[in-house]
Chains A and B, each alone.
Chain A
Amino acid sequence: MFWDWGYTLEIMPTLLRASLITLQATVLGFLLAASLGLVLAILRMSQSRWVSLPTGAFVEFVRSTPVLIQIFFIFFVFPEFGIVLPAMVAGVIALGLHYGAYCSEVYRAGLENIPKGQWEASVALNLSPYVTFRDIIIPQAIPPVVPALGNYLVALFKETPLLSAIAVLELMQTAKILGSQSFRYVEPITIVGLFFLVFSLIAAALIRQVEAWLNRSLRNPGGAR
Chain B
Amino acid sequence: MTTPMVKFDKVTKRYGSLTVLDSLDLEIAANEKVAIIGPSGSGKTTVLRMLMTLERINEGIIYVDGEPLTHMEKNGTLVPADQRHLRRVRGNIGMVFQHFNLFPHMSAIRNCMEAPVNVLGMPKAEARERAAELLDMVGLGDKVDQYPSQLSGGQQQRVAIARALAMRPKVMLFDEVTSALDPELVGEVLNVIRKLGSEHNLTMLMVTHQMGFAREFADRVCFFYGGKIAEEGAPDEIFSNPENERTRQFLSAVLEAN
**A127/B119 in contact, CB under 8 A:** yes
Residues in B neighbouring A136, C-beta threshold 8 A: 103, 114
- With an 8 A cutoff between CB atoms, is B54 at the interface? yes
* Cross-chain contact of A140 among B94, B99, B104 (Cβ < 8 A): B104
A3 to chain B, nearest CB (A): 54
Residues in B neighbouring A225, C-beta threshold 8 A: 150
* Cross-chain contact of A124 among B107, B149, B164 (Cβ < 8 A): B164
What is the CA–CA distance of A125 and B93 in the complex, to the nearest angstrom? 9
Determine the residue in chain A with the shortest Cβ distance to B91. A126
What is the CA–CA distance of A222 and B102 in the complex, to the nearest angstrom? 15
Closest 6 CB pairs of A and B: A117-B101, A125-B115, A121-B101, A124-B95, A222-B147, A221-B147
What is the CA–CA distance of A220 and B53 in the complex, to the nearest angstrom? 33
What is the CA–CA distance of A172 and B31 in the complex, to the nearest angstrom? 75
Interface residues of B in 95-136 (CB under 8 A from A): 95, 97, 99-105, 107, 114-115, 118-119
Residues in A neighbouring B105, C-beta threshold 8 A: 139-140, 221
**A117/B97 in contact, CB under 8 A:** yes
- With an 8 A cutoff between CB atoms, is A165 at the interface? no
What is the CA–CA distance of A201 and B102 in the complex, to the nearest angstrom? 39
**In the complex, which of the residues B99, B118, B145 has the most CB atoms of chain A within 10 Å of its own CB atom?**
B118
Majority secondary structure, B binding face:
loop
**B87/A118 in contact, CB under 8 A:** no
**A118/B103 in contact, CB under 8 A:** yes
Q: Given contacts A126-B91, A140-B104, could you give 12 more A-B pairs where the C-beta distance is less than 8 Å?
A: A115-B101, A121-B102, A123-B53, A124-B52, A125-B94, A125-B115, A125-B163, A128-B118, A131-B114, A139-B105, A221-B105, A222-B145
**A127/B149 in contact, CB under 8 A:** no
**In the complex, which of the residues B54, B94, B97, B103 has the most CB atoms of chain A within 10 Å of its own CB atom?**
B103
Residues in A neighbouring B95, C-beta threshold 8 A: 124
**A222/B150 in contact, CB under 8 A:** yes
Q: Which residues of A pack against B, CB within 8 Å? A: 115, 117-118, 120-121, 123-128, 131, 135-136, 139-140, 220-222, 225
Contact status of A126 and B99, CB under 8 A, knowing A131-B118, A221-B147: no
- With an 8 A cutoff between CB atoms, is B90 at the interface? yes
**A126/B101 in contact, CB under 8 A:** no
Contact status of A126 and B119, CB under 8 A, knowing A120-B54, A136-B103, A222-B145: yes
Majority secondary structure, A binding face:
helix
**B149/A220 in contact, CB under 8 A:** yes
- With an 8 A cutoff between CB atoms, is B191 at the interface? no
**A127/B115 in contact, CB under 8 A:** yes
**B99/A127 in contact, CB under 8 A:** no
Q: Which residues of B pack against A, CB within 8 Å? A: 52-54, 87, 90-91, 93-95, 97, 99-105, 107, 114-115, 118-119, 145-147, 149-150, 163-164, 167
What is the CA–CA distance of A140 and B53 in the complex, to the nearest angstrom? 24
What is the CA–CA distance of A48 and B87 in the complex, to the nearest angstrom? 19
**A118/B101 in contact, CB under 8 A:** yes
What is the CA–CA distance of A199 and B115 in the complex, to the nearest angstrom? 44
B5 to chain A, nearest CB (A): 17
**B87/A126 in contact, CB under 8 A:** yes
* Cross-chain contact of B149 among A121, A140, A221 (Cβ < 8 A): A221
B148 to chain A, nearest CB (A): 8
What is the CA–CA distance of A225 and B152 in the complex, to the nearest angstrom? 13
Residues in A neighbouring B91, C-beta threshold 8 A: 126
**A125/B119 in contact, CB under 8 A:** yes
Determine the residue in chain A with the shortest Cβ distance to B90. A126
Q: Could you give 16 example pairs across A and B, Cβ below 8 Å?
A: A117-B100, A120-B54, A121-B97, A121-B102, A123-B54, A123-B90, A124-B93, A124-B94, A125-B164, A126-B91, A126-B115, A131-B119, A140-B104, A140-B105, A221-B104, A221-B149
B146 to chain A, nearest CB (A): 7
Determine the residue in chain B with the shortest Cβ distance to A131. B118
Residues in B neighbouring A121, C-beta threshold 8 A: 97, 101-103
Determine the residue in chain A with the shortest Cβ distance to B160. A121
Residues in B neighbouring A128, C-beta threshold 8 A: 87, 118-119
Residues in B neighbouring A125, C-beta threshold 8 A: 94, 114-115, 119, 163-164, 167
What is the CA–CA distance of A128 and B146 in the complex, to the nearest angstrom? 26
Residues in A neighbouring B103, C-beta threshold 8 A: 118, 121, 135-136, 140
Residues in A neighbouring B107, C-beta threshold 8 A: 222
Residues in B neighbouring A117, C-beta threshold 8 A: 97, 99-101
B130 to chain A, nearest CB (A): 14
